[in-house]
Every structure is written in C-alpha cells, then in structure tokens.
Structure 1
Amino acid sequence: MSAPLPLTGLSAIADDYDVLLCDVWGVIHNGREGFPVACEALARFAADKPVVLISNAPRPAAAVHEQLERLGVPRAAWSAFVTSGDATRALLAERAPGPAWAIGPDRDAPLYEGLPLEFADPHEAAFISCTGPFDDEVETPEDYRTRFGVCLERDLAMICANPDIVVQRGDRLIYCGGALAQFYGDLGGKVIMAGKPHPPIYDLALAEAQRLLGRPVDRRRVLCVGDGLPTDVQGALHQHLDCLFVAGGIHRAEVCDATGALDPAAAAHRLAEDGLSARYLMADLIW
C-alpha cells in the first residue's frame, strides 16, 4: 500500500472532487465545541458543491441539527446530513413490534419515534437495540457481561445504531455503541450494523449527493473525510472512494508528536497496521 499524500489544506484538491462525505465527531467538533477552522473549510467547499455530513450518531439526522448549532457548527458548513440512526431505523422497522431491549441514554430516544416497537428487558426481548452505554461517562463494556449472558442464552441478535468504538468528548475518549457490539460479538452474539463502515449509510449519503447535484454521482469525484480507522477509512476503502484521513482526531496520540505536529510516517504506519490505506493525510481539516 502506498503512503497517503500529506496535504497543506483541502484547497489543494478541492477542484478534483464534486462531493465531500465528511465525518462529524472528531473532524468538525469534539462533543464539547466545534472546530472553526474545519467548519470554514467545509463552508468554502459547500459554497458551490455538496458537503454531506455522514455520522455514526445513533439518532435521526434531524435530531442532531440542534446539537451542531449548539457546538458552533454553522449551517453553511454542510448541505445534507445522514446518520447511522437514519440507516438503522429501517432495520428496526423490519423487526417491529419486537419487543426490543433498548440499550442507550435517554438522548437517543428519537431513534425510536414513530416506529411501532415495543420494549422489554433481556429476559423477554426478541432482539437488542444498542445506541451506546446507558451512562457513557462511567460504564464500560464489561459492565454488560451478565446481561449479555442472558441474551446469548436466548440467541438474541443485536442491532447497533452506532458502530463507533470510542469518540473524543473534550479531552477524553468515551465508549460508544460499537464497543458494546464488539464485546457482544466477542462473546458469541450476532451483531447487525448499518452505520460506517457498512454500506447502508453510504447508500443514503450518495443518494443525498445525487439529489443535490441533480445528476448521477461520479464516484471517482467523491472524497470521504474522517478520523476513524475502523469506520471512516475502512468504509471509504470498502466503497472504493478516495479518503482524506484526518489523523489528529481519535488517533492523535499515535501519530502526532509532543507539540501536536503530524508525523506522516507514523500515520502511514498506523494505517498499515490495520491493513488500511488513504489517499490523503492531514492532522486537522483546514482549507
């Protein structure tokens, strides 16, 4: 695999692409505040070409708009927004009325709005729906071992609405739904996901891009931007789309030196460790 090309800014390649599919958490905000420089870069691209935000948020996109505004992400920075929650609702609807054992915080309730689902505990549920830990400030996957044991005995499948393993909240990494799904799978459970790196969310994002362009999308002119190796980079690779790896996100400690400067060789090595590749590389998204 060839090493990714370090970029001084998105402007160096902007003319080569008609569409950006851009990750959210870790690229344009950290859960506590938006990144103004990254938002400016997206806004400049979005001035005349579509930017589709593609997020593993386990809620429908409409339910996340307010969060973006609160974090200071301007509406000019994006043209459309699709989430893992959007893609997951179709999977949940197929299994209605369930009942489902719903794992996740109250803020993820919009995922279920309007669906004819019933809910139950692990002893009565027909499947598991996971958006993340009930309390991601303190819980770890290990806290679910006993309850997952009940689910395994009953051969329950898990639908995971957020494949992210961890995300950065301020200066901390917190567990997401993907960590619970990985743990359940390691215990022998069946896991089904629709978010990145899986195809359903890319189908939604490219459909939005086609709607905005008003013509079929040339996949050779679509650039994926993200900081997560098992989600953003792997998803782009599976979709045969070019990828810009924003290495200063959740992998910053592995690929940047003590001053925060990007080490391109370390980033290339980190990609290779996971059998991945990206066409371009930046520490942080800038224009």
Structure 2
Amino acid sequence: LMPPPLIVANPDVVTVDGSQLVPMPGSLAAVYGGAGGRVVLMGKPAALIYSAAGAALGLGPGELLAVGDSLEHDIAGAAAAGIDSLLIAGGIHAGELLPGSTHGSVDGSPPSGAQQGDAFAGDEVAVDMAAL
C-alpha cells in the first residue's frame, strides 16, 4: 500500500523571520520524500507557477520579472522558465552574499550554508555590490 502523495505549494526549506531562519514546507517534503513518499511540488521552482502567472497577466516570459531570495527556488525556477529574475540578497542567502551580515543568524554570527538548509551551501559567490 503506497502512502498518499504530499502536495507542497511552497518548497522553500527555510524563510527569514525577523533575524532568524525558520523551517518551511520544503523541510517536511525532504523528510517525506526521503522516507519513500511521493512529493509533488506545485510552487517555485516548478514551471507551472510561472506560466500560470504569465497567463493570468496576459504576459509572456520576456515580459515578466521574478523577484525572490532563494537561489534554489526563485532564481532557478525563473531561469528554467525563461524569465528574468532579481535576487534579494538580504534574504536567506544574506550570510553568503553580504559580508558581515547576521541576517538569518541563529547566534549572532553570520549564518552558514548548513544553518540555511541551502542546496547551494559551500558554493562561492562573488557579488559586486557597487553594480547593484
């Protein structure tokens, strides 16, 4: 007997709440999927969310801009859908992108990729802040 699928409308693993990162539905999806359950993602980065937004507005991919703070969901999803994107550097990746930032910190020190539960943990990212 197969367990029912878990439908996840927001696959984000963490989000920023004040000055700390808190778990999101993607955390549960990872556990459920890891235990052998079938997970159906309905939110970003699934292409359906972007095509539905464009259709609702009567706009094509070249006329949309996706804005988000998750490289794994917001930015990767927009790229896969052919939509331009804007990364909010002060979100869940602040510890990696903004030197000295404690945004999303558990103990007041810059958060690590492991604290963020981020698929891009360990990747080096160089950001030219003057270009922003």
Q: TM-score, normalised by structure 1?
A: 0.35
CA deviations on 1:70-128 (whole Å, 9 max, x unpaired) are xxxxxxxxxxxxxxxxxxxxxxxxxxxxxxxxxxxxxxxxxxxxxxxxxxxxxxxxxxx
Paired positions, count: 111
Moved more, 178-187 or 153-162: 153-162
Q: What is the CA-CA distance between 1:208 and the residue it aligns to?
A: 2.5
* Counterpart residue number, 1:231: 73
* Counterpart residue number, 2:40: 192
Contact 1:246–1:282 (8 Å) recurs in 2:
no
Aligned match of 1:249 in 91, 94, 105? Answer: 91
Higher RCO structure, 1 or 2 (CA under 8 Å, sep 6+) = 1
Two-structure CA RMSD over aligned residues (Å) = 2.8
Q: What is the CA-CA distance between 1:271 and the residue it aligns to?
A: 9.3
1:169 is the counterpart of 2:17 = yes
Unmatched 5+ stretches in structure 1: 1-152, 211-216, 261-269, 275-280
In 1: Cα distance, 2:88 partner to 2:121 partner: 12
The structure with more helix, counted as a fraction of residues? 1
Q: What is the CA-CA distance between 1:154 and the residue it aligns to?
A: 4.0
1:181 is the counterpart of 2:23 = no
CA deviations on 1:166-199 (whole Å, 9 max, x unpaired) are 1111111111111100111122211001111112
1:167–1:157 distance in 2 versus 1, CA, 3 Å: same
* Counterpart residue number, 1:160: 8
Moved over 3 A (4+): 270-274
Contact 1:160–1:191 (8 Å) recurs in 2:
yes
Aligned match of 1:273 in 106, 123, 130? Answer: 123
CA deviations on 1:147-175 (whole Å, 9 max, x unpaired) are xxxxxx64321111221111111111111
Larger radius of gyration: 1
Aligned match of 1:219 in 50, 61, 66? Answer: 61
Q: TM-score, normalised by structure 2?
A: 0.70
Contact 1:236–1:243 (8 Å) recurs in 2:
yes
Identity %: 35
| 3-state secondary structure, aligned to 1:192 | strand
Contact 1:229–1:271 (8 Å) recurs in 2:
no
| 3-state secondary structure, aligned to 2:73 | helix
What code does the residue aligned with 1:243 have? S
* Counterpart residue number, 1:265: none
In 2: Cα distance, 1:218 partner to 1:163 partner: 24
In 1: Cα distance, 2:82 partner to 2:122 partner: 17
